Amino acid sequence: MNQNQCGRSGLYLSSIGLGTLTWGRDTDSHEAVEMLSHFVDAGGTLVECSASHGDGMAVDVVAEAMASLGRHRVVVAWRGGVRRTGEGAWVGAAGRGDLLRSLDDALARLDTDYVDLWLVEPRDEVPLAETLEAASVAYRSGRARYVGLSRASHWQLAEAVTRGEIGASAPISAVEFPFSLAHAQCASTVAELASRGVGVIAASALAGGVLTGKYRHSTPADSRAASPHLRHMVQPYLTGSSRGVIEAASRAAAGLDRSMGDVALAWVRDHPGVSSALVGPRTVRQLDTLLEHTDPLPAPIRQVLGEVAL
């Protein structure tokens, strides 16, 4: 698997990243540890996790998996921060105190002194400058070797990158947002960030599994669309313009004698400006299927798929 430079930073990411959304809940720790082992053996390095993944259990599973493989073999991208409400529930947080407290808790549970990349998530109720200052504190202290943003608006991205360029806060090395054949309209944002030396981590590279073709004719009983806590991630892609994209990917896959998932993943993985494409398989078998093919798409096929998707 290729290792891509993330923008113009010194951070390198595997061309495919492993998401941990289901770890500890839908994917048990034994399966997850085996999955990470297969991923690392295939040359993968990037593992993305947040406090909410697996109903809060994923971070402990990641820690267990890293302990068995070695911290040095994994690039940890930690996303966001949390705080506890008066009712005891955990919610997303962007304030300085909440962010740093949440990061320190993650470091303790991961049994590490640092995360390789901290992707903070701006929130409307907190000034962006405060959120970026928290990221800068972690960056300067070494608790986060690189920082970036996730779930940010276009204006927030522009301000954060500009502040990093002029030294008002830590440099933004990466931005994470959904990008796939189902989000092809974001290609202009990918190009703009690349021109400013910022890498893109493409979340939902397979649109919640829809671009594997599994939902073309029915909803498998063991799929995300059938899960009460995951179906909201899939349903937006099952109607409207996504249907045309799915059929185009299916035709391309048939013509190339490749799987739909392979075609859809290759399109986003090799897109200029994308540092890593995130996938979230629930089983080792699903992961191995995604890792099986590494060939790029023929240029004419890439172009036609991009035109259909737009």
Q: What is the pLDDT of residues 136-184, one digit of tens each?
A: 999 999 999 999 999 999 999 999 999 999 999 999 999 999 999 999 9
Identify the structural domains of the chain with CATH numbers, from first to last: 3-207+269-294 (3.20.20.100)
Token pair belonging to 179: 């990008």
Question: How do residues 201-258 score in pLDDT, each as one tens digit?
Answer: 999 999 888 888 775 544 544 545 445 555 556 666 666 667 788 889 999 999 999 9
**% of the chain residues with pLDDT over 70:** 91
pTM (2 d.p.): 0.93
CA dihedral 241, 292, 288, 181 (to 10 degrees): -10
End-to-end, the C-alpha distance of the chain in Å comes to 28
Mean pLDDT (the chain) is: 90
pLDDT band at 66 (very low <50, low <70, confident <90, very high): very high
Whether the predicted pLDDT of 123 surpasses 50: yes
What is d(CA 257, CA 13) in angstroms, rounded to the nearest whole number?
29
Whether the predicted pLDDT of 192 surpasses 50: yes
pLDDT of 221: 44
pLDDT band at 82 (very low <50, low <70, confident <90, very high): confident
DSSP state letter for 119: E
